[in-house]
Structure 1
Amino acid sequence: MESEEARRVNRALNKMSKLYREVKSRKLADLGLHPGQDVLLWLLAQQEGGTTVSQLAARLGIEPPTATRTLARLEKRELFRREPVPTDRRQVRIVLTEEARRLVPRIEAVWDELAEEILGGIPPEQREALVDALEDANDRLREQVSDSAMTEE
């Protein structure tokens, strides 16, 4: 890749990342949420019986203390409850409340709206190619993150 092209890619990705987070933040604010909380609630909604903090953190790709801090903010709104894990008294499961479950379709609507605003004007076949390229790029970055985590241990 030419140096100028690399700089252009860098600028575009940095700008998009910042703008996406800002627009998402504004939309989620209407739900009383911050970026990251939406994904956490959505993942919890996929786990009917709840999940532990460590399992949730692993699914999110974050450290358990980060998940705990995010949960602490959500706990103030009573969006989940803690239930003991029957097989391990030291563990608790995080289970969404009905109020939180009612938020999930609204979170998904925000995501749909964002996707439409960002890619809606692009023909479907180009959208497919773009999303495939982004997923491939994410896979390559994920490998680098995994590789560096392995070398740090």
Structure 2
Amino acid sequence: MDASEAMRVNRALNKMSKLYRAVKARKLAELGLHPGQDVLLWLLAQEREGMTVSELAARIGIEPPTATRSLARLENSGWFRREAVATDRRQVRIVVTDAGHELVPAIERVWAELAEQTMGGTSDEQREIVLAALEQANDRLRGDVGEAVLAEE
């Protein structure tokens, strides 16, 4: 790849990342969420019995202190509750409340709207080519990082 093509790729990916995050932030703000909190809450809602902070952090691909800080920012939302883990008093299980479960369809709607806004107007074939290229790029970059990072955030 020559320098001008590399510059074009870098510019396009940087711009896409910034624009995608900005639009996502606006859409999530209407729900009272910030980017990243949507993924956290959605993942928690998939486990009816909840998850420990360590389990959640591992699932997202972040450190437990980062998950703890994210949860602290959501603490007063009423979307989850903390329950003691009977077998380990040092651990707490994060369990999504009914209010949190009611928010999940709105989160999924934001994701669908954002995907449509981003990819709308492309043919099925173009969309498949773009998605395959992005997934391959993610796999190569993930290999360099050495982490199992969750898609979205």
TM-score > 0.5, shorter chain as reference: yes
Separation in 2, partners of 1:56, 1:141: 22
Counterpart secondary structure, 1:47: coil
Unaligned 5+ residue runs, structure 2? 148-153
Counterpart secondary structure, 2:77: coil
Separation in 2, partners of 1:47, 1:140: 30
Which position in structure 2 is the counterpart of 1:42? 42
Counterpart secondary structure, 1:35: coil
TM-superposition CA deviations, 1:72-118 (whole Å, max 9, x none) = 11111121111122222211110001101111100000000000011
Runs of 4+ in 1 over 3 A off after TM superposition: none
Which position in structure 1 is the counterpart of 2:84? 84
Give the structure-1-normalised TM-score. 0.93
Unaligned 5+ residue runs, structure 1? 148-153
Separation in 1, partners of 2:68, 2:77: 15
Which position in structure 2 is the counterpart of 1:120? 120
- Identical counterparts, % of pairs: 70
Counterpart secondary structure, 1:33: coil
Give the structure-2-normalised TM-score. 0.93
Q: How many residues align?
A: 147
- Aligned pair 1:105/2:75, yes or no? no
- Aligned pair 1:61/2:61, yes or no? yes
Separation in 2, partners of 1:142, 1:113: 26
